[in-house]
Amino acid sequence: MIRAFMQKIDAAFTAVAVVAIASLMLLVVADVSLRYGLGEPLFFAHDVVALYLTPALFFFGVGPTYWRDEHLAVDLLVLKLPIRSRALTDLVGAMIGVFIFVLLVWVSWDRAWASFSNDERIASIVPWPAWLSYMLVPIGSLAMVLVCIARLMLAIQAAITGRHPSKPEHSKDGEDTA
């Protein structure tokens, strides 16, 4: 149940991150090509990349990366621990993550809502809405809260059962049973 729900969150947030990075690349290539080819850069490119696409890429990409356990980690010691001890380290890390990201959701939501309520605009050639950029932080952080809670639950399961839940078990004929 946890995995099915998190697969949907993972897919949705990954899709947004993919669109953000593709848009970022296309916009930068277009801006550089026009700047050096015709001497006419896209006047809005820097603002869109810095205020919208880069934060979207980060905040929508970090949750799925953590869920799939694809982030960079120095785990030389942790891999040598027994499964229950490893689950304990995962449990502590997930609890710290829940605390930090709940705090980030709370603080950033207040800022995003204030920006939306006041219809704040950035001071630039194009007065883009500032709240849209601010809103990326609580939404992406909420995904991290969900991921940390799911990983917390999986760590509890691993601590109780002594089996690492992220590794599917194989039956005798080599088929995945999980």
Mean of pLDDT values over 4-24? 93
What contacts 71, CB < 8 A, 6 or more positions away? 62, 65
Tell me if 171 is assigned to some domain.
no
Tell me if 170 is assigned to some domain.
no
Tell me if 173 is assigned to some domain.
no
Tell me if 168 is assigned to some domain.
no
Residue 8 has pLDDT above 70, yes or no: yes
Tell me if 166 is assigned to some domain.
no
Q: What does pLDDT average to over the chain? A: 88
What is the model's pLDDT at position 166?
55
Q: What are phi and psi of 15, to 5 degrees?
A: -60, -45
- DSSP alpha helix (H) spans, the chain: 2-37, 45-48, 54-67, 83-117, 130-161
> Comparing C-alpha atoms, which of 140, 141, 101, 124 is closest to residue 50?
124
Tell me if 175 is assigned to some domain.
no
Residue 168 has pLDDT above 60, yes or no: no
pLDDT tier, 75 (very low <50, low <70, confident <90, very high otherwise): confident
Mean of pLDDT values over 137-151? 93
Using CA of residue 56, residue 64, residue 155, residue 157, what is the dihedral sign?
Answer: positive
Tell me if 61 is assigned to some domain.
yes
Tell me if 167 is assigned to some domain.
no
DSSP-assigned letter for residue 168: -
Least confident of 6-15, 42-51, 65-74, 118-127: 65-74
What is the model's pLDDT at position 161?
87
Tell me the two tokens of residue 120.
């704040």
The residue that leads in pLDDT, 118 or 70, is: 118
Residue 172 has pLDDT above 60, yes or no: no
d(CA 141, CA 7): 17
Total domains present in the chain: 1
CA 19 → CA 11, 47, 53, 62, 66, distances in Å? 12, 17, 9, 15, 19
Are 148 and 70 contacting, i.e. CB atoms less than 8 angstroms apart?
no
The residue that leads in pLDDT, 75 or 121, is: 121
What is the model's pLDDT at position 174?
46
Domain of residue 118: give its range: 2-161
Q: What are phi and psi of 129, to 5 degrees?
A: -70, 130
Q: What pLDDT, in 10s, does the model give residues 86-133?
A: 888 889 999 999 999 999 999 999 999 999 999 999 888 889 999 999
